[in-house]
Structure 1
Amino acid sequence: MADMQGARHWNENNSRSFLDYGRYFVPERERQIDMIADLIPAAPGGLLVELCPGEGLLSRALLERFPDSRVLALDGSAEMLEQTRQTCRNHAARLTTGAFELSQCDWRTFSEAPQAIVSSLAIHHLDGRQKQMLFADLAAALRPGGLLVVADIVRPPSAAGLAIAARQWDEAVRSRSLAIDGDLAAFAEFNRLGWNYFRNPDGEPIDKPSSLAEQLAWLSEAGFTEVDCIWLFAGHAIFSGRKP
């Protein structure tokens, strides 16, 4: 998301903004979580890894959906990790959290090959080359048959596409603000913070979303099969690939 303090890196102020307003700012948030979980095949005792869990809602959903599996949640924000532990406290015995830097490579091998790696609203902070390297490293880390699922903002290649994504995101946040609180206070904050990337796509160096087509191609180049996008709305997409 946009860096609300004008800095070039995500910081704990950004984390606090997302924890406070994520339920308003993420289009079809609950549906996205369900779709990500639906993509993952059940495997008794398997390891699931989430990159940048934020509030921990997806990690909790995975723990609930797959009671024989364990979740490793990695984040660069201490506040996000603490919130994830609180959100998943009823499943604490099957949750491990750890600090990492998404752009670094030192965390990309695991003592146990994961059955799935998921990430939501994080990978767009990497540039194109970094995404390519990440996809290749995650393909190597997964066990055979393992799945990578990415939910993220993607950059439309045309001005018309950017305008549509911007309008849809505004409409989604406006609708969620009314549905949750009955007023437009959260939508006003969304505008005040400048959170809609598609309104000013070249304004924040922290945001580096690539096009959906590029990322699907990079997954294929990394060796993934069954590469597909299952959902796209308001410039947000869910796409995945399976390791042969």
Structure 2
Amino acid sequence: MADMQGDRHWDENHSRSFLDYGRYFVPERERQIDIIADLIPAAPGGLMVELCCGEGLLSRALLERFPDCRVLALDGSERMREQAQKTCSDHGSRLTTAAFDLADRDWRSFSEPPQAIVSSLAIHHLDGRQKQMLFADVAAALRPGGVFVVADIVRPRSAAGLAIAARQWDEAVRSRSLAIDGDLAAFAEFNRLGWNYFRNPDGEPIDKPSSLAEQLAWLAEAGFTAVDCAWLFAGHAIFSGRKPDVAGQA
């Protein structure tokens, strides 16, 4: 799971920061990973693709949950790809990592249609039009019956919603900092880095989260069925859609 909050450009120093602090900064991280996996139907021997794999925690969970699957883990950071390979070392024969740029379109066709394409904390770096293009391209790439699962920050449409998301995210990081280390050092770093998007939603051009309602509509427009949100907390949502088994049928 990878994120790029707080800076205009991603580099390997940011990768290092996320590797150090991601376990604190991602609300209910373990629960999110479980929910993403729960939304994927089992299929023998299929390909799954993770967009922006980060350190490989989600890819490892998929490899463990689906012992016959293979995972293609894509990330633009060499450091992240190296860490993902280490994280998934027990399943290395079923994992392939590759460099990519999420905004480009040249990676959006595969040697075989994936049964699932997943992404965590990455798509909010695309603007609305880019998200719509991505959703359509993913729908075209998936095999019939395949699923697209997204975990990401989403922008509330009201000031009250932004305030609630900001407060919940602060509370989540504070709680994880205490639970993991018994102190608030990680929470202090969260604040120092300005990681909480909802505290200053228009302050960082690299962050372009869309509303949940917009993205659910775009999934439906791309042809997905069973479009739904499975989880929402602290401005973070998990939502998904399924490619029909036969054109025009769920």
**TM-score, normalising length: structure 1:** 0.98
Please report how far the alpha carbon of residue 232 of structure 1 lies from its aligned counterpart in structure 2 after TM superposition.
0.2
Query: Aligned residue for 2:247?
Result: none
Residues 27-106 of structure 1 correspond to what in structure 2 (within 5 A)?
Answer: 27-106=27-106
Cα distance in 2 between the residues matched to 1:69 and 1:230 = 23
Identity percentage of aligned residues = 86
Query: Aligned residue for 2:178?
Result: 178
Cα distance in 1 between the residues matched to 2:15 and 2:203 = 20
Q: Deviations over 1:20-53 (max 9, x none)?
A: 1000000000000000001111111000100001
Whether the aligned pair in 1 keeps the contact of 2:54 and 2:80 (CA below 8 Å) is: yes
Q: Secondary structure at the match of 1:195?
A: coil
Please report how far the alpha carbon of residue 241 of structure 1 lies from its aligned counterpart in structure 2 after TM superposition.
0.1
Residue 163 (structure 1) aligned with residue 163 (structure 2)? yes
Q: Secondary structure at the match of 1:37?
A: helix
Cα distance in 1 between the residues matched to 2:60 and 2:165 = 29
Structure 2 portions without partners, runs of 5+ = 245-250
Q: Secondary structure at the match of 1:167?
A: helix
Cα distance in 2 between the residues matched to 1:128 and 1:224 = 17
Whether the aligned pair in 2 keeps the contact of 1:3 and 1:14 (CA below 8 Å) is: no
RMSD of equivalent CA atoms: 0.8
Residue 203 (structure 1) aligned with residue 203 (structure 2)? yes
Q: Secondary structure at the match of 2:139?
A: helix
Residue 107 (structure 1) aligned with residue 107 (structure 2)? yes
Whether the aligned pair in 2 keeps the contact of 1:118 and 1:149 (CA below 8 Å) is: yes
Q: Secondary structure at the match of 2:175?
A: helix
Please report how far the alpha carbon of residue 120 of structure 1 lies from its aligned counterpart in structure 2 after TM superposition.
0.1
Whether the aligned pair in 2 keeps the contact of 1:120 and 1:150 (CA below 8 Å) is: yes
Please report how far the alpha carbon of residue 3 of structure 1 lies from its aligned counterpart in structure 2 after TM superposition.
4.8
Please report how far the alpha carbon of residue 9 of structure 1 lies from its aligned counterpart in structure 2 after TM superposition.
2.2
Query: Aligned residue for 2:192?
Result: 192
Whether the aligned pair in 1 keeps the contact of 2:4 and 2:122 (CA below 8 Å) is: no
Amino acid at match of 1:195: W
Query: Aligned residue for 2:216?
Result: 216
- Report the CA distance shift for 1:195/1:131 in structure 2 as closer, same or farther (over 3 A): same
Whether the aligned pair in 2 keeps the contact of 1:10 and 1:206 (CA below 8 Å) is: no
Q: Secondary structure at the match of 1:178?
A: helix
Whether the aligned pair in 1 keeps the contact of 2:153 and 2:236 (CA below 8 Å) is: yes
Cα distance in 2 between the residues matched to 1:205 and 1:15 = 19
Q: Secondary structure at the match of 2:230?
A: strand
Cα distance in 2 between the residues matched to 1:70 and 1:3 = 29
Aligned residue pairs: how many?
A: 242
- Report the CA distance shift for 1:56/1:229 in structure 2 as closer, same or farther (over 3 A): same
Cα distance in 1 between the residues matched to 2:55 and 2:205 = 24
Residue 145 (structure 1) aligned with residue 145 (structure 2)? yes
Cα distance in 2 between the residues matched to 1:143 and 1:208 = 29
